[in-house]
């Protein structure tokens, strides 16, 4: 398994760097994994900004119902539903997945396992092109007659399947087609990640020598491949229902809407771990480097990730406790859901254990990595309320659910991503990001984030339902304390969004004007730091050989507190 297979040379037709590539060859039709990684990153972040702007619109409506939103205008129920639906869809499928899996996966996997490119560079390019097309298709769906789809990101039929009910005859199928295409893009990317890791590792790199982030992205890709098939089939059926009037999910014609719910959540729950695992991987890298400490129980982390992945296929119906499934099933799914708490708590404890006896430097990436653990613990614990059937009767579809999964997804897709960006930025662009502004950005993100979602736990407990256009229509919900909390949440969002401007200025300024960084600025062990910053086409001058695991920090008797994977042991 450790034979080293160089990627096929499609990317430069045989000779690396012998001729200058034109701009179009280099940036538009590139097969270089780093360029594709950055393309995914930029597209994902741009979509993330769109998703964030959507949240601005609907949060303003929730805090100040009926008032025109500055810079946008009056929010109608149609616009509101459209914003809520596409915020969810974009943040999961066009922000979290491309950035966490495709961007970091593409950029890091070949560098961290010590090879020159992905095994299938052309497939990789196709993956990004399909992804880009799917993003454009989704954006286009806003501008068709009757506007974009507004039936929630779960897209439950018959609302989603019948234009008479959803009133978006063009928006709904376009939304669905965009999602299905995005799945195709990630299937292609995932196949590439798995094959590359299995076949193109540096000589000497054994299974337990692979950096955790690479493992996590590959395990996530396997989960994605195994879970998405049923949903793609379901999406095809739903598309036919929408466009040709078939009745797969229409009870009036022998179909069943619950079938879609099963297909959707059979994918939808593993999907949570598809984005969680890469985030855990990024945090593992950052944590070990800035703690100067070996990852606590590497094999435990790896196998708990696998266990979580396997268990995640048996929990999906906890999204459907009160959906009209056989109530006896709820007990089984409560058991499986609570079981998943075992590997996840184990993984969290192991990460905390890594900090025991460490030598911690609170740099900007480290602050984000620690914040990830702090916030994700809250998200994990509040999940138990929803996985326990009895409590879920009340909490289902309330703001408690919303607050819970934002306490998982924001740490995953925002906080862990920032940890990764601040950490790998010197590798990507050969320059540092400004650390002071990084810290300002950190506190301006972490504090308002809690300000947004802590109040929503409370409003959820008080009975606020999700996707409620105007709470003032419900006498029990038009309470002063709840209104105050809704406003607090919205104001916190505004603050958090404002602080992201600092990040973007820092990011683009540092890209061109930042302090120059050496090849290995953090004294890290993994292979990507062996390559020049930024790594040239082909990555390494000579492909590295692996001599040890990735986390050998502070080894007693070794001359320095890190020991790169490619450095041979001194002869004794």
Partner 1 sequence: MLNWIILEASSYAAQIDNVILIIALLGGFWLFAAEFVLFYFVAKYRRSRSPKALHITGYDHEHNKWIHWSHYAVIACDIVILVFAARAWYHVKQSVPEHVDEEIRIVGHQWAWEFVHPGPDGKLGTPDDIDLVDELHVIINKTYKFHLESADVLHSFSIPRFRLKQDAVPGREIDGWFTPTVAGTFDVPCSQMCGLGHGIMGGRIFVETEDEHRKWLDSATGKTAAIPGHSTGKLASTQGRN
Touching partner 1, residues 534-553 (CB under 8 A): 553
Of 62 and 274, CB closest to partner 1: 62
Of 178 and 485, CB closest to partner 1: 485
- Cα–Cα separations (whole angstroms), residue 265 to 23, 100, 155, 162: 42, 21, 11, 21
Q: Cβ of residue 564: shortest distance to partner 1, in angstroms? A: 16
In 3D space, the residue among 146, 149, 128, 127 whose CA is nearest the CA of residue 138 turns out to be 149
CA distance 78 to 151: 10
Which of residues 81, 106, 127, 445 is near partner 1 by CB under 8 A? 81
Q: Cβ of residue 143: shortest distance to partner 1, in angstroms? A: 19
Which letter does DSSP use for residue 209 in this model?
A: G
CA distance 158 to 178: 19
Contact 30, 36 (CB under 8 A): yes
Of 239 and 395, CB closest to partner 1: 395
- The binding track of 226-265 with respect to partner 1, each residue x by CB under 8 A or -, is -------------------------xx---xxx-------
In 3D space, the residue among 474, 501, 467, 514 whose CA is nearest the CA of residue 88 turns out to be 467
CA distance 47 to 105: 18
User: Per rule CB under 8 A, is residue 370 in the interface with partner 1?
Assistant: yes
Q: Cβ of residue 122: shortest distance to partner 1, in angstroms? A: 41
Q: Cβ of residue 554: shortest distance to partner 1, in angstroms? A: 4
Q: Cβ of residue 3: shortest distance to partner 1, in angstroms? A: 28
Which letter does DSSP use for residue 295 in this model?
A: P
Return the range that interacts with partner 1 (CB under 8 A); candidates 234-242, 324-332, 429-437, 499-507: 324-332
Which letter does DSSP use for residue 548 in this model?
A: S
How many whole angstroms from its chain centre is CA 339? 23
CA distance 414 to 230: 29
Considering only CA atoms, give the Rg of the chain. Answer: 24
Of 251 and 518, CB closest to partner 1: 251
- The number of C-alpha atoms within 13 Å of 195 and in the hemisphere containing its C-beta is 17
Contact 317, 396 (CB under 8 A): no
Contact 337, 387 (CB under 8 A): yes
- The binding track of 161-190 with respect to partner 1, each residue x by CB under 8 A or -, is -x--xxx-----------------------
User: Per rule CB under 8 A, is residue 204 in the interface with partner 1?
Assistant: no
Touching partner 1, residues 405-464 (CB under 8 A): 458, 461-463
User: Per rule CB under 8 A, is residue 151 in the interface with partner 1?
Assistant: yes
Residues in the chain: 572
Return the range that interacts with partner 1 (CB under 8 A); candidates 41-49, 178-186, 218-226, 370-378: 370-378
Of 223 and 291, CB closest to partner 1: 291
Of 4 and 479, CB closest to partner 1: 479
Largest Cα–Cα separation, the chain: 80
Which of residues 231, 477, 493, 497 is near partner 1 by CB under 8 A? 477
Q: Cβ of residue 167: shortest distance to partner 1, in angstroms? A: 6
Q: Cβ of residue 216: shortest distance to partner 1, in angstroms? A: 18
Whose structure tokens read 């999406």?
Answer: 235
Q: Cβ of residue 275: shortest distance to partner 1, in angstroms? A: 22
Which of residues 53, 122, 346, 432 is near partner 1 by CB under 8 A? 346
Q: Cβ of residue 320: shortest distance to partner 1, in angstroms? A: 8
Contact 308, 344 (CB under 8 A): yes
> Which helix H or strand E contains 368, and what residues bound it?
helix 364-387
Cβ neighbours of residue 234 closer than 8 Å, sequence gap 6 or more: 259, 260, 263, 264
Which of residues 111, 263, 274, 291 is near partner 1 by CB under 8 A? 291
Q: Is the peptide bond before 534 cis (omega within 30 degrees of 0)?
A: yes
- Cα–Cα separations (whole angstroms), residue 460 to 55, 117, 183: 18, 48, 32
Contact 5, 199 (CB under 8 A): yes
Tokens of 74: 């009056």
Which of residues 243, 345, 450, 500 is near partner 1 by CB under 8 A? 345
Return the range that interacts with partner 1 (CB under 8 A); candidates 74-82, 134-142, 234-242, 417-425: 74-82
Return the range that interacts with partner 1 (CB under 8 A); candidates 10-18, 199-207, 395-403, 519-527: 395-403
Of 43 and 81, CB closest to partner 1: 81
User: Per rule CB under 8 A, is residue 488 in the interface with partner 1?
Assistant: no
User: Per rule CB under 8 A, is residue 306 in the interface with partner 1?
Assistant: no
Q: Cβ of residue 496: shortest distance to partner 1, in angstroms? A: 21
Which of residues 122, 292, 439, 537 is near partner 1 by CB under 8 A? 292
CA distance 517 to 508: 16
Return the range that interacts with partner 1 (CB under 8 A); candidates 19-27, 75-83, 125-133, 402-410: 75-83
Contact 99, 413 (CB under 8 A): yes
Which of residues 175, 193, 296, 507 is near partner 1 by CB under 8 A? 296
Q: Cβ of residue 349: shortest distance to partner 1, in angstroms? A: 5
């Amino acid at each position: 398994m450790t034979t080293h297979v160089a990627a096929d040379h499609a990317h430069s037709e045989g000779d690396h760097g012998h001729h200058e590539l034109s701009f179009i060859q280099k940036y538009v039709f590139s097969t270089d994994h780093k360029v594709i990684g950055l393309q995914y990153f930029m597209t994902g972040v741009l979509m993330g900004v769109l998703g964030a702007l959507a949240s601005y619109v609907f949060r303003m409506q929730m805090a100040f119902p009926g008032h025109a939103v500055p810079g946008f205008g009056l929010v109608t129920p149609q616009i509101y539903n459209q914003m809520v639906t596409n915020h969810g869809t974009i943040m999961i499928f066009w922000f979290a997945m491309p950035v966490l899996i495709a961007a970091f996966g593409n950029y890091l996997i070949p560098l961290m396992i010590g090879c020159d490119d992905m095994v299938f560079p052309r497939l990789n390019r196709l993956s990004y092109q399909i992804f880009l097309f799917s993003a454009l298709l989704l954006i286009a769906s806003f501008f068709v007659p009757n506007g974009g789809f507004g039936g929630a990101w779960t897209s439950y039929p018959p609302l989603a399947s019948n234009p008479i009910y959803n009133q978006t005859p063009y928006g709904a199928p376009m939304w669905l087609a965009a999602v299905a295409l995005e799945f195709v893009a990630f299937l292609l990317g995932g196949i590439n990640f798995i094959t590359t890791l299995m076949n193109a590792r540096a000589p000497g790199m054994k299974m337990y020598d692979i950096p955790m982030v690479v493992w996590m992205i590959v395990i996530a890709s396997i989960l994605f491949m195994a879970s998405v098939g049923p949903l793609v089939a379901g999406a095809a059926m739903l598309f036919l229902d929408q466009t040709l009037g078939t009745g797969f999910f229409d009870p009036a014609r022998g179909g069943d809407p619950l079938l879609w719910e099963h297909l959707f959540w059979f994918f939808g729950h593993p999907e949570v771990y598809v984005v969680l695992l890469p985030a855990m991987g990024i945090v593992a890298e950052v944590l070990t480097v800035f703690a100067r400490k070996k990852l606590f129980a590497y094999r435990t982390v790896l196998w708990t990730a696998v266990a979580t992945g396997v268990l995640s296929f048996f929990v999906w119906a906890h999204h459907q406790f009160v959906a009209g499934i056989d109530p006896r099933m709820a007990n089984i799914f409560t058991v499986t859901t609570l079981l998943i708490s075992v590997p996840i708590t184990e993984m969290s404890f192991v990460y905390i254990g890594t900090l025991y006896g460490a030598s911690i430097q609170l740099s900007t990436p480290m602050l984000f990595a620690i914040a990830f653990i702090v916030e994700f613990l809250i998200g994990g614990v509040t999940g138990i309320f929803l996985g326990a059937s009895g409590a879920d009767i009340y909490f289902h579809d309330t703001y408690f659910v919303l607050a819970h999964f934002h306490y998982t997804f924001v740490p995953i897709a925002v906080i862990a991503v920032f940890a990764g960006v601040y950490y790998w930025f010197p590798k990507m662009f050969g320059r540092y990001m400004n650390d002071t502004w990084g810290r300002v950005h950190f506190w301006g993100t972490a504090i308002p984030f809690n300000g947004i979602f802590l109040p929503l736990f409370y409003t959820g407990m008080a009975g606020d339902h999700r996707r409620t256009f105007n709470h003032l229509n419900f006498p029990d919900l038009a309470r002063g304390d709840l209104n105050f909390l809704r406003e607090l949440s919205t104001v916190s969002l505004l603050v958090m969004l404002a602080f992201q401007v600092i990040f973007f200025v820092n990011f683009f300024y540092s890209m061109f004007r930042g302090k120059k960084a050496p090849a290995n600025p953090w004294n890290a062990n993994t292979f990507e730091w062996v390559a020049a910053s930024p790594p040239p086409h082909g990555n390494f001058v000579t492909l590295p050989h692996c001599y040890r695991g990735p986390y050998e920090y502070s080894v007693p008797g070794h001359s320095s507190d890190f020991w790169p994977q490619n450095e041979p042991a001194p002869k004794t």
